[in-house]
Amino acid sequence: MSKKLLTFSLLSLVAPQAGAFQAPEKLAITGAKVITVSGETYEKANVLLENGRIQAIGKDLEVPWDAKVIDASGKVVMPGLVLAQTNEGLDRPNENVPVTPFISVLDALNPVDAFFEDSLREGHATILVIPGNETVIGGTGRVVKPFGLTVESMTVRVDGGMKISASPRRGVSAMAHVAELRKAFVEFRDELEVAAEKKLAGAKSEKKAEAPKAAGEKADDKKADEKKPADKKAEEKAAPVDPLKVLEWKDLSARQRALFEVLNGRMPVFLWCERAMDVAHAIEIAKSQGFLSRTTLVIGTECWKAADEIKAAGLSVILPSDFVHREVDPLTGKERETSLPKVFASKGIPFALNATSRGALLERSLLLRGASAVAAGVEPATALRAITLEPARMLGLGDSHGSLEVGKAGTLLVLSGDPFRTGTWVEEVVIDGAHLYSRAKDDRLQRLTGDSKDGGR
């Protein structure tokens, strides 16, 4: 089952599962200010969704007679928010063995975890759930939507990415940690080489075994003898064999497959760097192992100091939910605060903001994170991209999510006002054409913020 899903996902990475959500065939959101993020912003426009995808956006679009309608007059429509990476929704973020590329959040993701309910409420419509940072090679994550009772029905993308950490785990020195990371790759490549050689040798002996039956012995021997020197040369030239080309999915054990996908460049990598010094290790390892182009850095606050290195390597970053770096000069005692979004925006490095339900009030929502980034001096348009299109791109979903364009997934939010304004709320959430959340019907939120007498409890 899981293998089938895996292969399926590799072929067609994103497929709106309209059936699973019982989305209406046609949905129209009318009369709203539509912020597309990738293109223009429309006033008083309609958005038409059909079979879970965006069919049209425009000012004077006719609403089909058979479409379900959400009246959003005076409100704002924007793409569903994309949570670039989290380890919430799992029972535990990490296995207590450092090198576990073969485990997957599939087996730990809890669809009824309060985290997913909160995510829907906050408009976080697309989420990468991936193992935590207390690891060397942590395992595979999944891109999910915060709705559904099975992991399969929630899944947007199976191979969400591999979590790798360039920063020492608790109680481990930096030297030991990085050595362990390098060793894991060296050993894995050795393993693959052995497997590849075995496969080649097997193929040869098979040929040898089959050949005599096909033709006369003598003639064949001669041919073989003639070819021998050339073969040897070729083998010497080609050696060492490239196991990534020789080996196929079926030649690998379940233990090897996920990391194999990383090395052959099909699996995105999310590389954790807590401190600025870890960035250099991370880049060096990603480069030497050949997955730099598929890598996104997940960074701690100090890493703004490595911004130039990150830019030179052409990488994107996922910021921590608390994105202010604070340090005290040990000599002068002067306190310095650095706001990461401002640094990365000014250097032109693509970045995604991140939220966590474990943080302070403003850290819980991507919209509020965006507002904080604007307060720190980032242009609103950049902040908007940092919670939609940029993270979508990092998850390999840039063509299907993160902006409102014809043909993209019908995943969008209706807000009560402009994003980043105080007092703006997520009113409606539509995912893949299915209307999944309505603030007016959110009893729990009403209790917390509403005007009912028993509010607060």
Q: Which residues bind another protein (CB under 8 A)?
A: 114-115, 117-118, 121, 324, 328, 333, 335-337, 339, 342, 357-358, 360-362, 364, 368, 370-372, 374-377, 380, 420-423, 444-445, 447-451, 455-457
Residue 34, phi then psi, degrees to nearest 5: -110, 115
- Ramachandran sector of residue 303 (left: φ over 0; alpha: ψ -120 to 50; beta: rest): alpha
> CB of 7: closest distance to another protein in angstroms?
36
Q: Name which of 306 and 368 has its Cβ closer to another protein.
A: 368
Say whether the peptide bond before residue 240 is cis (omega within 30 degrees of 0).
yes
| 23 DSSP assignment | -
Q: Name which of 19 and 423 has its Cβ closer to another protein.
A: 423
Q: Name which of 344 and 420 has its Cβ closer to another protein.
A: 420
For residue 408, what are its two tokens? 């993209």
> CB of 305: closest distance to another protein in angstroms?
16
> CB of 335: closest distance to another protein in angstroms?
5
Q: In whole angstroms, what is the distance from residue 118 CA to residue 446 CA?
A: 13
**Size (the chain), residues:** 457
Q: In whole angstroms, what is the distance from residue 448 CA to residue 457 CA?
A: 7
Q: Name which of 115 and 272 has its Cβ closer to another protein.
A: 115
> CB of 198: closest distance to another protein in angstroms?
51
Query: 153: buried, middle or exposed (CB in 10 Å: 19+, 13-18, 0-12)?
Result: middle
Q: Name which of 372 and 400 has its Cβ closer to another protein.
A: 372
> CB of 280: closest distance to another protein in angstroms?
26
Q: Strand 41-50 relative to strand 81-86: parallel, antiparallel, unpaired?
A: unpaired
Query: What residues pair up with 141 in beta bridges, in sequence order?
Result: 161
| Closest-CA residue to 60 (of 36, 43, 73, 75) | 43
Q: Name which of 229 and 333 has its Cβ closer to another protein.
A: 333
Q: Distance of CA 325 to CAs 170, 328, 374, 383, Å?
A: 21, 10, 16, 18
> CB of 367: closest distance to another protein in angstroms?
9
H-state helical runs in 289-359: 307-312, 340-347
Q: Strand 324-328 relative to strand 316-318: parallel, antiparallel, unpaired?
A: unpaired
> CB of 114: closest distance to another protein in angstroms?
3
Q: Name which of 270 and 323 has its Cβ closer to another protein.
A: 323
> CB of 456: closest distance to another protein in angstroms?
3
Q: Name which of 113 and 251 has its Cβ closer to another protein.
A: 113
| 109 DSSP assignment | B
